[in-house]
A and B are shown apart, each in its own frame.
Chain A
Amino acid sequence: MRYIQEELVMKRMNKRLISNKLWKFIFIVATSFALISLGMLLYRILTQGLGFLDISFITNFASRIPESAGIKAALVGSLWLMSVVAPVSIILGVSTALYLEEYAKQNKLNDFIRINISNLAGVPSIVFGLLGLTIFVRLFGFDKSILAAGLTMSLLILPVIIVAAQEAIRAVPNEQREASYGMGATKWQTIVRVVLPAAIPGILTGSILALSRAIGETAPLVVIGIPVILQFLPTGYLDTFTALPMQIFDWAKRPQEAFQHVASAGIIVLMVFLLTMNSIAIFIRNKFQKRY
């Protein structure tokens, strides 16, 4: 007596094949939603913004006249901002990840810390803005400076970098560490000569992606009170500045139609910035990917 009878199998065959195809279709539709809306967004921005995008757009300061409005102050300001955020967040983030992965003992306190760093990555950016306002702007008296905004942004992306670096460090096989310890290397020698070289591609990829989040982030800058219309460039870290998303936000909320197009041009600049950084991240990941 066979339990799986041919008759029974054939009876349900059609139904099974149809539901198989149906699910495939549903998933394709779901994917297209994202792709279509992205396409529409790009189309709108490019058609509106390309007309305003020329060399003078990059080299001009902000202006009341849409035709002569430029993004120079914001672009330079964003670069200044990155020059604070990148070193601060990467150095603190990688050090924290090394401590948690290589040094910290496995106990309740450290588990608690680990979980909460992951949670921190999900805290809304405006909350970090308020933190930055209280601590860096007011308590430390940095005012609305590049330093205050840079430190705030560093705090914002720190959890992301820590988690990415932790994963990269964890991906280094234990056999590699054992080989090093087995020859009498100290923990520090092992980290510098074995763990970090192997983990650097992953750490850099995660860091660059986190930095590109910082470039596009607006809310903390609004809370800190960064100005939007500036007719000069910063000369030091305690100077005030403006940044790309702030500038775009300001243009987009103006009533004149023409400024909507200026905003689109600004978005194109920001996106080129982001896409370049993401490409570098992908390039690094592919080039240094190692197999053990």
Chain B
Amino acid sequence: MVQLLTKHEVRPSAMGIETNQANIMQSHNFNLWYGDHHALKDINLEMKENEVTAIIGPSGCGKSTYIKALNRMVELVPIVRTSGQINYRGRNIFSNGYEVEELRTKVGMVFQKPNPFPKSIYDNIAYGPRIHGIKNKKILDEIVEKSLRGAAIWDEVKDRLNQNAYGLSGGQQQRICIARCLAIEPDVILMDEPTSALDPISTLKVEELVQQMKEQYSIVIVTHNMQQAARISDKTAFFLNGEVVEFDKTDIIFSTPSDQRTEDYISGRFG
């Protein structure tokens, strides 16, 4: 029994990037329209457990739309229609009876612009657990500390948990948002250009954090910064005009891409 457990725990890091970790999210011929605009065309992608999947592409290529489809955030836009499937652990998230509230506790999201609530740091982190019914102060305390540690910001804020999160710098705010996302103990973390509003040092911290977090979570990150994708991701998908041009291991995409358009994009010829 003990052996089994250890074996299981060791597995992800021992096997590394190379292999057949389980699919955690998968899209099959996924299409999306904003009104008449066909924004995503037959997207087929697989996201694996404990990997960082980067989505790159020029503005308007559908990469943000796609990541927002993964937790059905895209449905907040009233004119959206979809076809095809996106599966989370084998179950189509668009199927009848799959409640978005349930999906979003498993598939958390970090947004482009740091968006903490105008509440204390503590209340920001406790927001998720509270909406899911945790009232016990002791448990909340533990979740807050664990999440802030998980987002590598505990030491910076532990003495001022009752201060408003708006008093923090942009980079700290974004890590608070990451901690807030960790507090609901998700399985997958979606990050929509999480560093585009941050300075280089804060960006570096978030990137390091992403590297640490993939030990426990599966991460999908949209970025318009190709170096960032190259630094932190295991797999990279290149989107263009709503289609996946190429999806492969990151080092292959950035060294020997098989599609000419990918090569043009990563070498800076457009986008």
- Which listed residue (B73, B111, B117, B181) contacts A194, Cβ 8 A? B117
Instruction: Determine whether the beta carbon of B101 is less than 8 Å from that of A185.
Output: yes
Instruction: Determine whether the beta carbon of A181 is less than 8 Å from that of B73.
Output: yes
Residues of chain A with a CB closer than 8 A to B104's CB: 181-184
Instruction: Determine whether the beta carbon of B118 is less than 8 Å from that of A290.
Output: yes
Residues of chain A with a CB closer than 8 A to B111's CB: 175, 178-179, 182
Q: Which of A165-191 contact B (CB under 8 A)?
A: 173, 175-186, 189
Which of B8-16, B47-55, B124-132 participates in binding chain A? B124-132
Does any Cβ of B come within 8 Å of A193's Cβ?
Answer: yes
Does any Cβ of A come within 8 Å of B184's Cβ?
Answer: yes
A175-B115, A176-B115, A179-B117 known; A186 vs B73 contact (CB < 8 Å): no
Residues of chain B with a CB closer than 8 A to A291's CB: 166
Within the assembled complex, what's the spacing in Å between the Cα atoms of A186 and B101? 7
Within the assembled complex, what's the spacing in Å between the Cα atoms of A181 and B71? 10
Q: How many A residues, CB 8 Å from partner?
A: 23
- Which listed residue (B76, B118, B180, B184) contacts A181, Cβ 8 A? B76
Residue of A nearest to B164 (CB): A290
Residue of B nearest to A290 (CB): B118
Residue of A nearest to B101 (CB): A184
Does any Cβ of B come within 8 Å of A94's Cβ?
Answer: no
Residues of chain A with a CB closer than 8 A to B78's CB: 105-106
A183-B184, A290-B118 known; A178 vs B127 contact (CB < 8 Å): no
Q: For the complex formed, measure the closest distance between the CB of B61 and the CB atoms of chain A, giving whole angstroms.
A: 21
Instruction: Determine whether the beta carbon of B105 is less than 8 Å from that of A179.
Output: no
Instruction: Determine whether the beta carbon of B108 is less than 8 Å from that of A198.
Output: no
Does any Cβ of A come within 8 Å of B249's Cβ?
Answer: no
Residue of A nearest to B112 (CB): A175
Residues of chain A with a CB closer than 8 A to B102's CB: 184
Does any Cβ of A come within 8 Å of B32's Cβ?
Answer: no
Residue of B nearest to A194 (CB): B117
Instruction: Determine whether the beta carbon of B131 is less than 8 Å from that of A183.
Output: yes
Residues of chain B with a CB closer than 8 A to A179's CB: 111, 115-117, 177, 180
Instruction: Determine whether the beta carbon of B177 is less than 8 Å from that of A178.
Output: no
Residue ranges of A at the interface with B (Cβ–Cβ < 8 Å): 105-106, 173, 175-186, 189, 193-194, 197-198, 290-292
